[in-house]
Amino acid sequence: MRDELCAQVQKITGTGQEVAYVLVAQLACCLATPAWEDKDGCLIRACSMLAEYQPTNIIEAQLVVQMVTTHDAAMKAMERVMDRRQSQEGIDLNLKRAARLMQLHLEQIEAWQRLKGKMGQQRVRVEHVHVHQGGQAIVGAVNAPGGGGGSE
pLDDT of residue 12: 84
Task: Label residue 13 by pLDDT band (50, 70, 90).
Answer: confident
Residue type, 32: A
Q: Which of 7-11, 38-42, 44-48, 76-80 has the lowest mean pLDDT?
A: 38-42
Please give the residue that has the higher pLDDT: either 112 or 3. Answer: 112
pLDDT in tens, 131-147: 888 877 776 666 666 65
Neighbouring CB atoms inside 10 A of 91's CB total: 15
pLDDT in tens, 23-52: 888 887 777 665 555 677 778 888 888 888
Residue 26: per-residue pLDDT: 84
Residue 106 CA to residue 84 CA, distance in Å, equals: 28
Taking alpha carbons only, the member of 112, 130, 20 closest to residue 68 is 112
Q: At what angle do helices 17-30 and 2-13 cross, to 10 degrees?
A: 120
Q: What is the pLDDT of residue 15?
A: 85
Domain regions of the chain by residue span: 2-115
Say whether pLDDT at 150 is over 60.
no
Q: For residue range 81-113, what is the model confidence (pLDDT) as tens digits?
A: 998 898 999 999 999 999 999 999 999 999 999
pLDDT of residue 140: 67
Mean pLDDT over residues 4-18, rounded? Answer: 86
Reported as a pLDDT band with limits 50, 70 and 90, residue 152 is very low
pLDDT tops 60 at residue 149: no
Q: If you write DSSP's letter for every residue of 54-111 in order, what string do you get? A: ---SHHHHHHHHHHHHHHHHHHHHHHHHT-TTS-HHHHHHHHHHHHHHHHHHHHHHHH
